[in-house]
Amino acid sequence: MRRKSLPRAPGKTAFTLAVAVTLSACDFTRPPDPFEAHPDVVTIALLLVAGESEARLLAVHPHRPRDGDAPKITATLKGPGWTAAFSEELELESCTNSASWPGPVRCLGATLPEQIGAIGDYTLEGTAPLGSFRGAMNMPAPPDLLEPEDDLELPAPARGTGVEIPVKYRTGSDVGTLMADVTDAFETLDDGTEVEINRHHLGPFPRTLEGAEADTVYVFYNANPVRFRLSLLGIGRHYTNFLAHIGTFPTPKPWPSFGIEGEGVYGYFDGLTRSPAVQVRIR
């Protein structure tokens, strides 16, 4: 049964899937070779988000015409003491913000009996047109946001410019990609009324941090005072490895783990954890 995208609480950011973070439709098309050019090959993307009680799986037939049949797969997620099937057909926007894909695409959802933990092992089993597939991953430890360590207030810059926020952090070896994110963004209008705004008014968030221990987060400022919560996102190495091998031909071997293996299936299976947030005010 098809249903609408699942509702979101105000200010909550849903990252399932990572395609909504950084991937685009082109990233799921690999150069043709005897295996990958098969029309029944399926690309799968699955990112579990700590604190969420739902999971979303994106499946694509990258070598079929766009008006062809969407992937027919079954998939089951296993957590600590429970099993949940991807049995809900969701609107595509629940899985990705990309409007264009190289082939037919499908978004599947699973309602979980408990929230995804910030630590723990998860496995995936399923079937695709060319055979079965399986996956396994361990949630990465949440990153530590060291600075700013307390709520921060910054003076407003000139209108139409921005503010640079230096950040320092510490991550474990299981984090392959680190990103800065803002949530719960509010603007104070001229009459003193405070209204919630889309976080993208502050810039293209989440954004990748490049420094090993420190970097700078740039926040755009228009005219009125704003406040928001700043936190860091840690994504595991399966996702990072997958990004590193996009577009390479031939793909070098031995391949690192992307978290998924099987007959006629490639993609990634990984987890995302969030650091505690600090409140930032610009006024």
Per DSSP, the three-state class of 108 is strand
pLDDT given for residue 247 in this prediction: 62
Rounded Cα gap, residues 104 and 101, in angstroms:
7
CA pair distance 61, 267, nearest whole angstrom: 12
For tokens 């995936």, the residue is 124
- Please give the share of the chain, as a percent, with pLDDT higher than 90: 65
CA 16, CA 6: separation in Å to the nearest integer? Answer: 12
pLDDT at residue number 3: 35
Task: Say what the pLDDT of residue 278 is.
Answer: 97
**Is the model's pLDDT at 8 over the cut of 60?**
no
Does pLDDT of 10 surpass 50? no
Per-residue pLDDT, averaged over 82-96, amounts to 93
pLDDT, position 97: 78
Find, among 150, 120, 98, 115, the residue nearest to 277 by Cα. Answer: 150
Q: Which two tokens stand for residue 247?
A: 């577009």
Per-residue pLDDT tens digits for 104-130: 999 999 999 999 999 899 999 999 999
Q: Rounded distance, CA 131 to CA 46, Å?
A: 18
Which residues have a Cβ under 8 Å from the Cβ of 156 and sit 6 or more positions away? 221, 225, 282, 283
For residue 27, is pLDDT > 80? no
Residues in contact with 214: Cβ distance below 8 Å, sequence separation at least 6, in sequence order:
166, 167, 168, 169
**Cα atoms in the 13 Å half-sphere on the side-chain side of 75:** 34
Alpha helices in the chain (DSSP H): 237-244
Residues 6+ apart with CB under 8 A from 139: 48, 50, 116, 117, 118, 119, 120, 121, 122, 236, 271, 273
Strands 278-282 and 82-85: unpaired
Q: pLDDT, tens digit, for every residue of 126-152?
A: 999 999 999 999 999 999 999 999 899
Question: Which residues fall within 8 angstroms of residue 99, CB to CB, at 6 or more apart?
Answer: none
**Whether the predicted pLDDT of 206 surpasses 70:** yes
Q: Find, among 6, 142, 117, 143, the residue nearest to 52 by Cα.
A: 117
β strands within the chain, DSSP E: 2-3, 42-49, 54-60, 74-79, 82-85, 88-90, 105-111, 121-128, 131-138, 144-147, 152-154, 162-170, 175-188, 194-196, 207-208, 214-220, 226-236, 260-262, 265-274, 278-282
Output 194 or 14, whichever has higher pLDDT: 194
Q: What is the pLDDT of residues 40-57, one digit of tens each?
A: 989 999 999 999 999 999
At 179, list the tokens. 């990103």
The Cα–Cα gap between 164 and 215 comes to: 10
Instruction: Decide if pLDDT at 233 tops 80.
Output: yes
**Residue 36 pLDDT:** 55
Q: How many other CB atoms are found less than 10 A from the CB of residue 137?
A: 26
Q: Dihedral sign, CA of 175, 177, 180, 184? A: negative
* 33: pLDDT strictly greater than 90: no
